Amino acid sequence: MKKDFLTLSDLSSEEVTALLDRAAALKAGRDISACPLIGKSIGLLFDKTSTRTRISFQTGIYQLGAQAIYINTKDMQLGRGETIEDTARVLARYLHGIVIRTYAHSTIEKLAQNAAIPVINGLTDLHHPCQALADMLTVKEKKGRLKDIRMAYIGDGNNVANSLIEAALLTGMELIVACPHGYEPDRKIHEKALSGGAKVKVITSPEDAVKEADVLYTDTWISMGQEREVERRKKTFKGYQINTDLLSLAKPDAIVMHCLPAHRGEEITDDVIDSPQSVVIDQAENRLHTQKALLEMLIK
């Protein structure tokens, strides 16, 4: 039976552990079978522009022996009114898997329901699970473990925050989200994680969030599709910047993470993102390794 990866909760704790171990082995050049996906074709169906998602998937697919077919939805019949359901059924006859990067999470759910091949969420407005996989690998590399690591996420309770909440549930990390009122992570995702025993808090004070933190994490205040809210969001999030003052409240060996692209001088300052405590480039590289492990797991 085919397996989709629409949210991080589509994996069990055991599967996450195995995937991260496999990603670490791939990164180290160990235990690599020769082109395990040779002869396969993976579609990259993108509504949203991308740097890391597109390039890391295309590179990883090639390294695994398969071919990546980039599909801009504006160039398809989708742009002329064909349904996502019909598109899914047709693509499943040509491809062995689909990576989709889009806006509404319902779009990817419809695609997965109608495609007889694995569907991978490259990003929706609600979830960013591939980013969370790379984040977990990065933390594990730098801190040696995930369980009981204290992560402070500062800023918008967006798709990245939602996936980190699910990561906390699966790994035993402690996650403190600091965001303004009205910008909290998805309530259903938060409540589900809490009911499963996750150590997740949502507060408004960045200073309280970073106390004794092992990891500080932030994302842009203005995501794609929110361009009309630029000035309002900049004003609302003004006190939610990761800077040297905020970093000084965390543990001395705390690491700083950002999923990129960064709006330097807004959610994070140059001196922090370029500091020795920043691991953002390692974090970006790890998209490649975790996604290769994910593709191996899902594409048969």
Q: 111: burial class by Cβ within 10 Å (0-12, 13-18, 19+)? A: buried
Instruction: Give me the pLDDT at residue 229, please.
Output: 84
Domains 8-128+285-298 and 129-283 share a fold: yes
- Residues involved in catalysis: 101, 128, 131, 219, 259, 287
Spatial CB neighbours of 200, under 8 Å, sequence gap ≥ 6: 165, 168, 169, 174, 175, 176, 177, 190, 193, 194
147's tokens: 């369980």
| CA of residue 115 relative to chain centroid, distance | 23
Instruction: Give me the pLDDT at residue 74, please.
Output: 80
**Tens-binned pLDDT, residue by residue, of the chain (300 aa):** 899 999 999 999 999 999 999 999 999 998 666 789 999 999 999 998 899 999 999 999 999 999 999 998 888 887 678 999 999 999 999 999 999 999 999 999 999 999 999 999 999 999 999 999 999 999 999 999 999 999 999 999 999 999 999 999 999 999 999 999 999 999 999 999 999 999 999 999 999 999 999 999 999 998 777 778 889 999 999 999 999 999 999 999 999 999 999 999 999 999 999 999 999 999 999 999 999 999 999 998
CATH number for the segment(s) 8-128+285-298: 3.40.50.1370
199's tokens: 């150590």
Task: Give 242's DSSP letter.
Answer: B
177's tokens: 């989200």
| pTM of the model as a whole | 0.96
pLDDT 10s digits, 238-297: 999 999 999 999 999 999 999 999 999 999 999 999 999 999 999 999 999 999 999 999
> What residue segments make up the domains of the chain, in order of their start?
8-128+285-298, 129-283
Strands annotated E in 61-220: 67-72, 97-101, 119-123, 150-154, 174-178, 199-203, 215-218
Spatial CB neighbours of 160, under 8 Å, sequence gap ≥ 6: 128, 131, 132, 153, 219, 259
Spatial CB neighbours of 275, under 8 Å, sequence gap ≥ 6: 247, 256
User: Distance of CA 19 to CAs 13, 130, 200, 220, 291, Å?
Assistant: 10, 12, 23, 28, 9
* Tally of residues, the chain: 300
The pairing of beta strand 215-218 with beta strand 67-72: unpaired
Instruction: Give me the pLDDT at residue 137, please.
Output: 99
Instruction: Give me the pLDDT at residue 200, please.
Output: 98
The answer to whether 180 touches 251, Cβ cutoff 8 Å, is: no
For 268, the 3-state DSSP assignment is: strand
The answer to whether 298 touches 3, Cβ cutoff 8 Å, is: yes
CATH C-level class of 129-283: alpha beta
